[in-house]
Amino acid sequence: MSRYRDFHRRSIDDPETFWGTEAQRIHWETPFDSVLDRSNPPFARWFTGGRTNLCHNAVDRHLVARAQQNALVYVSTETGIERRYTYAELHAEINRMAAVMRSLGVKRGDRVLLYLPMIPEAVFAMLACARLGAIHSVVFGGFAAPNLAARIDDAKPALIVTADAGARGGKVIDYTPLVDEALARAQHKPPHVLLIDRQLAPERLNASYLVAYEPLREQFFDAHVPCEWLESSEPSYVLYTSGTTGRPKGVQRDVGGYAVALAASMEYIFEGRAGDTMFTASDIGWVVGHSYIIYAPLIAGLTTVMYEGTPIRPDGGIWWRLVEQYRINLMFTAPTALRVLKKQDPKFMKRADLSSLRTLFLAGEPLDEPTASWITDALGKPVVDNYWQTETGWPILAIQRGVEALPPKLGSPGVPAYGYNLSVRNEFTGEPCTPGEKGVITLGYPLPPGCMTTVWGDDQRFVDTYWSSVPGQQLYSTFDWGVQDDDGYVTILGRTDDVINVAGHRLGTREIEEALAGHAAVAEVAVVGVADKLKGQVALAFVVLREPDRYADPASRTALETGLALTVDRHLGAIARPARVHVVTMLPKTRSGKLLRRAIAALAEGRDPGDLPTIEDPAALAQIRAALDGVVG
């Protein structure tokens, strides 16, 4: 048996022994009584009775050996600001922020809603909440006011922390009007809003609830706030999943299990060592930012790089220059970002000294084979895909190189990570699928440490949403289609709610996207299913071209669209052929790089796109509308 298979088997067959050993990676102020409480399935409580603190594990415990090592490197190409904070300096800033929050009435168990751009104060605020035993809920900066109001009413925060503005692509996004509108809409009215003034937008300190951060920071400059020691199962944070409808769904995470899971993942999946430097190009508003910009690298004693900006501003070489300048060892981003970089001049990558970089990690959406092949060849370094969810907090699938460096397979993010009892199930019978058979990816009980413990304020919703959809089985549904091969590698085929039923044939939009992405003319693609009176549903494809000028005249454009449709025929058969291929110059995405497929589908069906994250560029939606109206892109 391979080392990986034996390692994974032990984690499933005897989770108490396996995770009891892993728990020694973190500091416990009070030892736990038991590793796992299974008394109330599908709920699971890890390391019960143990008392610990995320901030202590991320910062305080490193002060003896790493006080002068950089903990946080901040780079903003929007403002031109670069700052470095040692572990000692980060510790001091967290204490100042915690003292400010405490002076505004925040205490253990309170929620603090953070509506912030990518600035160091966001890190200070998250870790200050952890220090105080408060529960942070980060809402993506720039999120629309109605959606922010819904999260305020669900979390009922004692304090909101925001900034005057964020910046993206050279554009300033004024946050305070959005906060004003959200508070006017919300039923819950927190007593204070703490404002971090970046001097990017007009100051708005006239509102009675606004409190300026800087004067209070000076007042508490020498403060020391002791850590609150929390029982392992107490909540650490609530993070709302994007694209929800109706009442927001808050993913609740614990303290001890999360710390242990992240600490273990840094060795087994990311091969991070104390003293390394890690650059995760995400946003604190998403789970990747929580886990791998902030908590995991710091818990493991690394330097973490926090970046505000795009991958192509001031030019397409900025990320590669960061690798060179800060001697980055581990880099983590999304496939969409790589597709953007792939279109840049190759000289940018060739000019940079990338010798420090050991591994590039990718997640957030399926990695297409053309992009995987390009970046692997261009970098000459291991490229490790992985797959997970807001709900799990750390990877479900990956090549766990710290356990065994199994060979990657193009198109697959890897094999099940230790702790995850994964199976692919038939959606109708709940029976296990045979290798190569498409089904729903499920996880057995108990979920490993670090995964969501419930839906904030609604245990029944946790049961009904995640544990009740597989017939006759108590299994957690990921709501993702997949296939698993004979070697255990899993390929993701898209969300179960992105399935198209065309004349009785069930097709995953991801499969059609893969076929189109293989065409030489295509840089990016999104496929959605839309209602059709005859067939039930049909597929619509929206593509961004590598060289749009080559297809500027109508005849060339028509020929190309026909050729793209035939490409799908060749790969998947005529039944999967899109009803129409639309050429656009951009696709609507979140700032973390995820395609807003539901918004595209809504527009195609003449519906309101609804509750959306702030998109990278609102003009992308106009592009989709124009294409649907027959306007040439």
Mean pLDDT of the chain: 91
CATH, residue 546 = 3.30.300.30
Q: What is the per-residue pLDDT across 325-369, written as a single tens digit (0 to 9) for each?
A: 999 999 999 888 888 898 888 899 999 999 999 999 999 877 888
Query: Does residue 576 have a pLDDT over 90?
Result: no
Instruction: Tell me if 633 is assigned to some domain.
Output: no
Share of the chain above pLDDT 90, in %: 68
Q: Are residues 299 and 370 in the same domain?
A: yes
Instruction: Tell me if 488 is assigned to some domain.
Output: no
How do strand 422-425 and strand 454-455 relate by DSSP bridges? unpaired
Nearest of 326, 283, 328 to residue 307 by alpha carbon: 283
Phi, psi of 563 (to 5 degrees): -65, -35
Domain boundary among 480, 512, 528: 480
Length of the chain: 633
Q: What string of H, E and C letters represents the secondary structure of 205-242?
A: CCCCCEEEHHHHHHHCCCCCCCCCCEECCCCCEEEECC
CATH, residue 472 = 3.40.50.12780
Q: Are residues 476 and 546 in the same domain?
A: no
Measured CA to CA, the distance from residue 290 to residue 299 in angstroms comes to 12
Name beta bridge partners: 167. 172
Q: pLDDT value at position 504?
A: 57
Q: pLDDT value at position 633?
A: 45
Comparing 73-87, 169-183, 253-267, 524-538, the range with the smallest average pLDDT is: 524-538
Comparing 28-37, 86-95, 526-535, the range with the smallest average pLDDT is: 526-535
Q: Are residues 517 and 421 in the same domain?
A: no
Domain of residue 87, residue span: 3-480
Query: Does residue 302 have a pLDDT over 90?
Result: yes
Instruction: Tell me if 487 is assigned to some domain.
Output: no
Domain boundary among 480, 514, 541: 480
**Torsion sign (Cα): 517, 518, 522, 523:** positive
Domain boundary among 413, 445, 480: 480
Single-letter residue type at 229: W
Q: Provide the token pair at 289.
A: 């930012």
**Mean pLDDT to the nearest integer, 111-138:** 98
Region of residue 66 (phi > 0: left; psi between -120 and 50: alpha; otherwise: beta):
alpha
Measured CA to CA, the distance from residue 32 to residue 55 in angstroms comes to 18
Instruction: Tell me if 494 is assigned to some domain.
Output: no
Q: Provide the token pair at 472.
A: 């006759």
Measured CA to CA, the distance from residue 492 to residue 57 in angstroms comes to 34
Please report which confidence band the pLDDT of residue 245 belongs to, taking 50, 70 and 90 as the band edges.
Answer: very low
Concatenated DSSP letters of 133-178: T-EEEE--TT--HHHHHHHHHHH--SEEEEESEEEETTEEEE-HHH
Single-letter residue type at 580: R
How do strand 580-584 and strand 454-455 relate by DSSP bridges? unpaired
Q: pLDDT value at position 137?
A: 98
Instruction: Tell me if 498 is assigned to some domain.
Output: no
Q: What is the per-residue pLDDT across 495-531, written as a single tens digit (0 to 9) for each?
A: 776 667 676 566 778 778 888 988 989 999 999 988 8
Q: Are residues 169 and 73 in the same domain?
A: yes
Nearest of 37, 88, 19 to residue 60 by alpha carbon: 88
Instruction: Tell me if 96 is assigned to some domain.
Output: yes
Count of structural domains within the chain: 2
Contact 441, 427 (CB under 8 A): no
**Mean pLDDT to the nearest integer, 39-57:** 98
Measured CA to CA, the distance from residue 307 to residue 73 in angstroms comes to 8
Distance of CA 231 to the CA centre of its chain: 26
Q: pLDDT value at position 201?
A: 86
Q: Are residues 362 and 317 in the same domain?
A: yes
Q: Are residues 516 and 560 in the same domain?
A: yes
Q: Are residues 507 and 470 in the same domain?
A: no
Q: Are residues 293 and 415 in the same domain?
A: yes
Q: Provide the token pair at 482.
A: 């997949």
Q: What is the per-residue pLDDT across 438-457, written as a single tens digit (0 to 9) for each?
A: 999 999 999 999 999 999 99
Q: Are residues 435 and 577 in the same domain?
A: no
Q: pLDDT value at position 431?
A: 94
Please report which confidence band the pLDDT of residue 205 belongs to, taking 50, 70 and 90 as the band edges.
Answer: low
Nearest of 71, 160, 168, 153 to residue 120 by alpha carbon: 71
Q: Are residues 386 and 475 in the same domain?
A: yes
Contact 406, 448 (CB under 8 A): no
Concatenated DSSP letters of 293-334: IIIHHHHTT-EEEEEES-TTSS-TTHHHHHHHHHT--EEEE-
Comparing 273-277, 282-286, 528-532, 568-572, the range with the smallest average pLDDT is: 568-572
Measured CA to CA, the distance from residue 623 to residue 543 in angstroms comes to 11
Q: What pTM does this model have?
A: 0.85
Instruction: Tell me if 492 is assigned to some domain.
Output: no
Share of the chain above pLDDT 70, in %: 95
Q: Are residues 475 and 510 in the same domain?
A: no
Name beta bridge partners: 505. 502
Q: For the chain, what is the largest distance between any 2 Cα atoms, rounded to a whole number of angstroms?
A: 73
CA angle 612, 613, 617 (to 5 degrees): 100
Nearest of 147, 309, 242 to residue 595 by alpha carbon: 242
Nearest of 168, 126, 157 to residue 179 by alpha carbon: 157
Name beta bridge partners: 524. 544
Q: Are residues 531 and 401 in the same domain?
A: no
Query: Does residue 243 have a pLDDT over 50?
Result: no
At residue 7, the 3 state secondary structure works out as helix
Measured CA to CA, the distance from residue 113 to residue 120 in angstroms comes to 16
Instruction: Tell me if 58 is assigned to some domain.
Output: yes
Comparing 109-113, 199-203, 560-564, the range with the smallest average pLDDT is: 199-203
